[in-house]
Structure 1
Amino acid sequence: MPISLVMTFGEYAQAWIDSLEIVPGTRRNYRATINTYWMPRLGQLPITAVTTMVLRRVISETAWQTQSIKRESIARVSSLLKAAVQDELIDRNPAAPIKLPKKAKKQVDPFSASEAASIIEWMYANFKKPGAQIFAAYFEFAFYSGMRTGEIAALRWDEIDMEKRVAHVCRIVVDGVVEERTKTKYARTVMLNSRAINALERAKVIAKERSVQRRRIKNESQYVFPPSGGNEFICRPSQTSHQFAKALTALKLRPRPQYNCRHTYATMCLMAGMNTAFIAGQLGHSIQVLLTTYAKWLSSTSDWSEVGKLEQSLIGTELVQA
């Protein structure tokens, strides 16, 4: 192939990212990874000149912030080069021989059920104004629905059926933008318990109070948990994390990210002995991810009951009676 017709790494990277059927937030992440770690060194090279040795040199000379970033970046460029093989631009994937760093195991640090109850109670008692009290309802819903922070921020009233006690999850806030997630892979229906329903009922009351606060009645937001100010929905995690930190400080609880509300829901479900497939469906996880992430809580709640099964079925019948 004449050199003038050989695409550069940068040209192919652009074409590859543009061709992916992914949500805008994921596309931005892909582009940022390629631009930050690979384009400065590989962008102008013919893609046929990108060898395993070249990749190893870039990897060794890059100051990686974390092993997770390093792993993700190598995986991303490997996917790009694998696609280049499929597009018949190169014969083999030069990233294939490169071993990915071990995936760092995320530490799950949920709250106890009593801690969750204390946080919610404190928020309702201390966030007096409707503009602030919406955060109390938000966190009650977060603790008892298990939805992701971005999913709760994007939740609208027309996606909730109070009679059937379900919420349809099909949107998420990413980088301040509401993204549609209508594909089956992302969308799911979450069944709501009484505490989640209570949070929604409180949110509805708060919305009505806020709509008549001023002399002119304002239209109620289509979003369930709109913050005060000009935004119709919660655009950034910092809007809720600040309120969350207030409660933890006041209650002298160990500081933890608000995402642990979701972990708390998962562990409460497991400790209640609920079906793992059902819990995974509620969270939007695969069963494998659920078992891997929450194995500690799954085993701690079921170990003795499993021993009990053996006692009942075999051992108990073999005891010598006095």
Structure 2
Amino acid sequence: MAGATKYPTGVRVRGDSVQINIPIGGKRKYVTIPQPPTPKGISEAGKLRAHLKDAARWGTLTQADVDAACNVKTTLIDDDRPLFADYAQTYLDNLSSDNAGTRRKYKGILTKHWMPFFAAVPIADINAAMVRSALNSLSFNAPRTYNDALIPLRGVFDLAFLDGEIDDMPTKRIRNKKVQRDDPDPFLPAERAAILEWMRSNWTGKKEVWYLYYKWQFWTGCRPSETLAIDWSDVDWSHNTVKISKTLTGGKVSHATKTYHMRNIHINDVAKDVLLRLKQLTGHQSRVFISLHTDEPWTRDQKLSEKFADAMTGTDMRVRPAYNCRHTYATTMLNSMIEPSAAAYQMGHDIQTFKTIYAKWINTERMSKEMMKLDYSD
């Protein structure tokens, strides 16, 4: 008989019994399993413990699971095909290390929605009917939440398909639900002017950088995560452009944009004036936008959004989220007769997405051009 030091981790022999150490309810317990203390029995105990540990890692292990597992047939323990939990973990591990926020989101979705159904099931045994049954058992508060839940699930099966573990994708005929997109709600030029004037008057001293941030947002249309990741090395003064190639996600800089396409945005005179003032205030740091209170780069935009809400209150403006600064710039470009393809590039959209979001303003711009052709002579 092999010595105890050669037993699989968490496995021990007590008399004629084999026991495994499993965390249940936050406490570690030794559970006796129906295996003889032979080399084969000890090996299979190690496999069983590994399966239960996977469930424990995903937070789905219950006492009932352990009780059921401890009475499984040997043939079930001998099934060494990869489980859904195995591929779920591999899928998360394969996500870009720069996108920690996405990894956290997808792990949360897998843990909440899919692991309770499929964690201990061999991924090759999961079919479309099982996925539909799980979907029918779940409750989603909105179509977008439903669609988001399918993203990592599809990713797990796609990885297993590429590895040849499954012959078909059980999710391929499961469609997303239609999501009604609200029209953008941009600020009118007079509203933008009033907001910026309130910010300029009320945010002085170290608060001035908040005003400069929103002036930049109104006149570049950058996503907040893009703005907070800009370094001074991204600014090309000779060509009046700024390279947008990074985002601030989960408090860390990710070297990729939301669409994974780098772009060089053109900065107009207003945006250039913002940069010139920021150069005086933050030029000693590598990052363009920093907190003047801490002299450190911001790690998230939530506080800035809260400050924007203060400006809404201070100006008695109809309340809208800070993200509408971006919509304001897009519609300003269209109302200024800038070609939609050029505006789409500036915003970091493909042309089709841009046309979908700003269809109303594109049509207005086209109509204005057409109306100029009217002949008013008698």
Superposed CA deviations along residues 229-249 of structure 1, whole A, max 9, x for unmatched, are: 436212122221121111111
Choose between structure 1 and 2: higher strand proportion. Answer: 2
- Listed as ranges, the gaps of 5+ residues in structure 2 are 1-75
Q: How many residues align?
A: 302
- Using the TM superposition, give the Cα deviation of residue 307 of structure 1 relative to its aligned residue in structure 2, in angstroms: 5.0
Of 23-32 and 83-92, deviating more is 23-32
- The amino acid across from 2:286 in the alignment is Q
Residue number in structure 2 paired with 1:172: 247
How far apart, CA to CA, are the structure 2 residues paired with 1:234 and 1:117? Answer: 26
Residue number in structure 2 paired with 1:263: 327
- The amino acid across from 1:92 in the alignment is D
* Contact 2:185/2:324 (8 A) holds in 1: yes
- Using the TM superposition, give the Cα deviation of residue 19 of structure 1 relative to its aligned residue in structure 2, in angstroms: 2.8
Residue number in structure 2 paired with 1:252: 316
How far apart, CA to CA, are the structure 1 residues paired with 2:195 and 2:219? Answer: 13
How far apart, CA to CA, are the structure 2 residues paired with 1:286 and 1:223? Answer: 28
Structure of higher RCO (CA pairs closer than 8 Å, 6+ residues apart): 1
- Listed as ranges, the gaps of 5+ residues in structure 1 are 209-219
Choose between structure 1 and 2: higher helix proportion. Answer: 1
- Using the TM superposition, give the Cα deviation of residue 33 of structure 1 relative to its aligned residue in structure 2, in angstroms: 2.2
- Using the TM superposition, give the Cα deviation of residue 55 of structure 1 relative to its aligned residue in structure 2, in angstroms: 1.2
Matched, 1:57 2:103: no
Of 264-273 and 117-126, deviating more is 117-126
Query: Equivalent residues in 2 for 1:62-141 (5 A)?
Result: 62-129=138-205, 131-141=206-216
- Using the TM superposition, give the Cα deviation of residue 160 of structure 1 relative to its aligned residue in structure 2, in angstroms: 0.9
Taking a change above 3 Å as real, the CA distance of residues 99 and 161 of structure 1, as seen in their structure-2 partners, is closer
Residue number in structure 2 paired with 1:216: none
Superposed CA deviations along residues 58-103 of structure 1, whole A, max 9, x for unmatched, are: 2122221321011121243123213322322112111122222113
How far apart, CA to CA, are the structure 1 residues paired with 2:173 and 2:260? Answer: 30
Of 131-140 and 22-31, deviating more is 22-31
* Contact 2:98/2:253 (8 A) holds in 1: no
Of 108-117 and 290-299, deviating more is 108-117
How far apart, CA to CA, are the structure 1 residues paired with 2:187 and 2:357? Answer: 15
Q: Percent identity?
A: 29
Residue number in structure 2 paired with 1:288: 352
Matched, 1:190 2:269: no
- The amino acid across from 1:242 in the alignment is E
* Contact 1:85/1:91 (8 A) holds in 2: yes
- The amino acid across from 1:195 in the alignment is V
- The amino acid across from 1:71 in the alignment is N
- Using the TM superposition, give the Cα deviation of residue 27 of structure 1 relative to its aligned residue in structure 2, in angstroms: 3.0
Q: Structure 1 length as normaliser, TM-score?
A: 0.86
Of 90-99 and 145-154, deviating more is 90-99
How far apart, CA to CA, are the structure 2 residues paired with 1:171 and 1:149? Answer: 11
* Contact 1:142/1:262 (8 A) holds in 2: yes
- Using the TM superposition, give the Cα deviation of residue 31 of structure 1 relative to its aligned residue in structure 2, in angstroms: 2.5
- Using the TM superposition, give the Cα deviation of residue 150 of structure 1 relative to its aligned residue in structure 2, in angstroms: 0.9
How far apart, CA to CA, are the structure 2 residues paired with 1:121 and 1:204? Answer: 21
Q: Structure 2 length as normaliser, TM-score?
A: 0.74
Matched, 1:241 2:305: yes
SS at match of 2:248: strand
Matched, 1:225 2:289: yes
Q: 2:236 aligns with which of 158, 161, 174?
A: 161
CA RMSD after TM alignment: 2.5
